[in-house]
Structure 1
Amino acid sequence: MKSLALKYGNNPHQQPAYIDMPDGNDLPLTVRNGRPGYINLLDALNSWQLVRELRTATGQACAASFKHVSPTSAAVGKPLSPELKKAVFVDDIAGLDDSPLACAYARARGTDRLCSFGDFIALSDICDVTTAQLIRREVSDGVIAPGYDPAALEILRAKRGGNYTVLEIDPAYTPGAEEIKTVFGIHFHQGRNDRQIDESLLQEVVTKNKNLPPQARLDLIIGLITLKYTQSNSVCFSYDGQAIGVGAGQQSRIHCTRLAAGKADTWFLRQHPLVLALPFRAELHRAERDNLIDGYINQNEEDVCAEGTWQRYFTSRPTPLSAEMKAEYLEKITGVSLTSDAFFPFSDNIKRAAKSGVSYVAQPGGSIRDDAVIAECDKHGIVMAFNHLRLFHH
């Protein structure tokens, strides 16, 4: 197939829309079901690059959840704790632990469930039945993978009344060294960002604390690869084999950090005993539960628990989760990793990150205030490595 017609461009009035190869060769992907749109393909191709690179770097099955050309999360296929399974609504899936790919997808989709609503999914490995079963019950636009088990493909083809987008990409395909983008009729040319991200980028530890354990190294690598395919400015909080908070596309780095930290806090708080014990009515859809959980954690829990309100959603009145209870719970969190696609210009980023349990940082360095940033890390006992690699993505 040398070209593929799309539903429309960025918006429905932008037609015609299609993709092809500039050299006239066949496209390296096949549509196994549905009809993708322009943004679907941008998400698919960016997310596929992320999981392919993460697979190479970690040797583990990987998955990513993308929305509007940035990842909500990326994860490797580590088994989930019982608390995390319940928090991300997969505690009813038999055999989940037997599928690393399904574990990776459960982690990626469950990280930021509000932002992942209507996502595009990337899988590093051939999609199995367990992973397809997870995808089937989530609101999603499509999936890209290097292949599909026959039974998994049939499950996905039945999604969205038979209109779910399923893409298969040639895992051997490698693009050329030059990238070309057209803006306002003008062609932009640049070398493709093929810089390999691995532990060699974590060698220059500039803080007093230099203890960088294997799990932290894995989480920092996950964070850096995630940022490589995130709209800049961007920072990423990662923990236990997955990105748990991505701050993307902000003009100020502190806003990136605040946004990502807030998402990371919410990810941890979803595993709070009071959240796990919320007595939802059985008829509530998964998206409705997500909205209620977000309101319970991040807004005024009294709005959710108030008399005359809770009866619509719960079988009994939930215990309010106070600000003091949240602070006490989050204060115990440590071992979180923070990565940035460019240097931290001020120490305020580290101050905010420390409040969300950050113990490890990787960033390019090169700010005139590096000394102040290092001093702030030393104040909190944080380990920081300079990787000298900017990862802007636009």
Structure 2
Amino acid sequence: MTDAAHSGSPVRIRRALLSVSDKTGLVDQARKLVAMGVELVSTGGTSKLLKEAGLPVKDVADLTGFPEMMDGRVKTLHPAVHGGLLYLRDNPSHVKDAETHGIGAIDLIYVNLYPFEATVASGADFETCIENIDIGGPAMLRAAAKNGAFVAVCTDGGDVDAVIADMEANDGNVPVALCRKLAAKTYARTAAYDAAISGWYARQLGDTAPDWAAIGGKLQQSLRYGENPHQKAAFYVSGEARPGVATAKQLQGKELSYNNINDTDAAYELVGELGAETPAVAIIKHANPCGVAQAGSIIEAYRAALACDSTSAFGGIVALNRPLDGPTAEEISQVFTEVVIAPGADADAEAIFAKKKNLRLLITEGLPDPASPGHFVKTVAGGFLMQDRDFGRITRADLKVVTKIAPTEQQLDDLLFAWRVAKHVKSNTIVYAKDGATVGIGAGQMSRIDSARIATRKAEDAAEVAGWSEPKTKGCVAASDAFFPFPDGLLQAASAGALAVIQPGGSIRDDEVIAAADEAGLAMVFTGMRHFRH
């Protein structure tokens, strides 16, 4: 008979196999199982813990007739275990085989796998990571999940609690619907586990395009909806220890939305790009920065970032590279802000934000390293694209002066700052900066000259809102994420007041663009690296 034939028959739990790495709550759960007449079978450290708690438990070796061997690498890979998990209880041939070979049914299995993902995240060496690859655990889980009409399979403590609750309510029985739900979860868990292992192994070998690629993650949050209310969405975490929205602790505020998570990630990656040496703030709206600044203090950086485009900052995300203090929190609270993310926050800041019930405050305990390796994945019809995270970095030593006029020391500082910001703006982009702060940003246009025009207009609007006599682009520098294909975008930057420009170079019209820069009296440097962002 097929598994589907048993959709209405409950599973009677008489024997449970427990073999876990994370033993949190295990003793209490085992005690409840024993109280309902369940026989316990266990392995290694799990068996030792249960025996020390005074619970009756059989060792797996009592079932298999073989001791654990090879430092625990071999203990459950045996017909007495897998037969007990896999045989169909209503199939006469299976039942006969089980009786002939003395194989008893295993009705409940609880295995949480060796902590491979956590071991990798801790920075452990190759051999330690290898030893934390679980073999018997996934094999048992997959076997039990295949036999979901007869076996309840648990991969974490919450699964066990759900099974026990149903057993207590149904005289030791578990609905097959729950078993199937747990089986589906089990295959997802083992798939994510294998994805973590295969991805790690490929990285160790330097294989950037393995024949098979797998992606896995654990549900962090079921979201109310996606980018739009008619789209369903959820947030999964990969286990990567990178400081950011996935690893942050939320101190207050309502639940993060899909757009909040996406924008907060963009904001924190940008301040990570700027490093921790100088206080920095980025204000993000729709995944693009509307203001970024570095200054002598975090409050000064916030004020300068806000001044770039205070209109767009309404309802935005604020990221800081330093712990949030009370005075800065007070200023941020004057503008409607969705999320603030920072490495920390003092008591005064927390108290101020506590008055803003809907404002989310996320604490990360660190900054993301812009130079660390990682992957970016984008789905397309029928597949997905995978590439390295953009960890390209440019220093002063990499810059090539291509004009008759060379940038000043201050301009070089601003050029590198604008370049790092441009890396985090949707292409095509032009960024104007002055004195360590953006003063105009043009993002995501089909034409580079349109991005330059928008950045100019943004600067003019900011001046009008603030009551300045002229836009702050006068005497600024400009950054372009990719080369200027024609001089027009460059000349638009010059007309806005830019005195120096940073761009990758590499156009067939570079000579024409350089000549236009010289004629306009501009200093220009080439990076030899572009930063498209789509």
TM over 0.5: yes
Shift of 1:4: 3.0
1:86 maps to: none
After superposition, what is the alpha-carbon deviation per residue over 1:167-198, rounded to whole angstroms, capped at 9, x for unaligned? 11241655752222334462221011111233
1:262 is matched with which residue: 434, 445, 457? 457
Cα deviation 1:322-345 (Å, max 9, x = unaligned): xxxx7xx56x97421000000001
- Aligned counterpart, 2:261: 41
Residues in 1 aligned to 2:300 and 2:223: alpha-carbon distance in whole angstroms: 32
Provide the rounded CA distance (Å) in 1 between the counterparts of 2:507 and 2:321: 36
Equivalent residue number for residue 404 of structure 2 = 208
Quick check: 1:216–1:335 contact (8 Å CA) kept in 2?
Answer: no
CA drift at 1:134? 0.7
The total of aligned residue pairs comes to 312
CA apart distance, 1:77: 1.6
2:338 counterpart of 1:141 = yes
Pick from 269, 277, 283 the counterpart of residue 65 of structure 1. 283
| Structure index of larger Rg | 2
Corresponding residue of 2:6 = none
TM-aligned CA deviation for residue 23 of structure 1:
6.7
Question: 1:127-138 counterparts in 2 under 5 A?
Answer: 127-138=324-335
- Report the TM-score, using the length of structure 2 for normalisation: 0.55
From the superposition, tell whether residues 136 and 122 of structure 1 become closer, same or farther in structure 2 (CA, over 3 Å). Answer: same
Query: Judging changes above 3 Å, is the alpha-carbon distance between structure 1 residues 243 and 19 closer, same or farther for their aligned structure 2 residues?
Result: same
Aligned pair in 2 of structure 1 residues 176, 370: CA closer, same or farther (>3 Å)?
Answer: closer
> 3-state SS of the aligned residue for 1:355?
helix
Please say if 1:51 is aligned against 2:246. Answer: no
The yes-or-no answer on 1:253 pairing with 2:470 is no
- Structure 2 match to 1:316: none
C-alpha deviations, 1:307-360, integer Å up to 9, x for none?
xxxxxxxxxxxxxxxxxxx7xx56x97421000000001111122111111100
| Unaligned runs of at least 5 residues, structure 1 | 79-99, 277-325
Distance 2:350 2:257 in 1: 20
Unaligned 5+ segments in structure 2 are 1-217
In 2, distance between residues paired with 1:116 and 1:25? 26
| Post-superposition CA distance 1:140-163 (Å, at most 9, x none) | 11111111112201211321xx12
What's 2:503 paired with?
363
Paired residue secondary structure (1:384): strand
Query: Displacement, 1:125?
Result: 0.5
**Equivalence for 1:29:** 248
Q: Aligned ranges for residues 171-250 of structure 1 at < 5 Å? A: 171=366, 176-184=373-381, 186-202=383-399, 204-210=400-406, 212-250=407-445
Partner residue, 2:363: 168
Return the letter of the residue paired with 2:334.
Answer: R
Give the Cα separation in 2 of the matches to 1:185 and 1:165: 37
Cα distance in 2, alignment partners of residues 333 and 146 from structure 1: 31
CA deviation after TM superposition for structure 1 residue 214, in Å: 2.2
**Within 1, Cα distance between the matches of 2:324 and 2:382?**
39
**Where in structure 1 do 4 or more consecutive aligned residues deviate above 4 Å?**
22-27, 172-176, 268-271
Deviates more, 1:10-19 or 1:111-120: 10-19
Larger mean CA deviation between 26-35 and 216-225 belongs to 26-35
- 2:331 and 2:417 map into 1 onto residues whose CA distance is 23
State the SS of the aligned residue for 2:496. Answer: coil
| 1:383–1:241 CA distance, 2 compared to 1 (3 A) | same
Within 1, Cα distance between the matches of 2:240 and 2:327? 38
- Write the letter of the residue equivalent to 1:12: P
Q: CA deviation at 1:236?
A: 0.3
- Secondary structure of 1:358's counterpart equals coil
Partner of 1:3: 220
User: d(CA) in 1 for partners of 2:511 and 2:242?
Assistant: 51
Give the structure 2 partner of residue 120 of structure 1.
317
Deviation at 1:2, TM superposition (A): 6.7
Q: Which residue of 1 aligns with 2:490?
A: 350
In structure 2, the residue matched to 1:85 is none
Q: Distance in 1 between matches of 2:222 and 2:295?
A: 34
Summarize the Cα distance change of 1:72–1:185 in structure 2 as closer, same or farther, 3 Å threshold: farther
The 8 Å contact of residues 157 and 166 in structure 1, kept in 2 or not, is answered as no
Alpha-carbon distance in structure 2 between the residues aligned to 1:380 and 1:235: 18
CA distance in 1, matches of 2:452, 2:512: 17
Q: Equivalent residue for 1:337?
A: 477
Looking at structure 2, the residues matched to 333 and 136 of structure 1 have their Cα atoms a distance apart, in angstroms, of 28
2:314 partner amino acid = F
CA RMSD, 1 decimal: 2.4
Give me the whole-angstrom Cα distance separating, in 2, the residues matched to 1:387 and 1:251: 22
Q: TM-score, normalised by structure 1?
A: 0.74
C-alpha separation in 1, matches of 2:504 and 2:295: 28
Q: What's the CA shift for 1:108?
A: 0.9
Structure 1 pair 135–256 and aligned structure 2 pair: CA distance change class (3 A): same
CA distance in 2, matches of 1:267, 1:200: 34
Structure 2 CA distance for aligned equivalents of residues 333 and 67 of structure 1: 21
Aligned to 2:192: none
Alignment identity in percent? Answer: 35
Shift of 1:24: 11
Q: 1:72/1:370 Cα in 2 relative to 1: closer, same or farther (>3 Å)?
A: same
1:199-231: CA deviations, max 9, x gaps?
2343x1101112x22221121112111111111
Q: Is the 8 A contact 1:2 1:25 kept in 2?
A: no
Greater shift after overlay, 28-37 or 178-187? 178-187
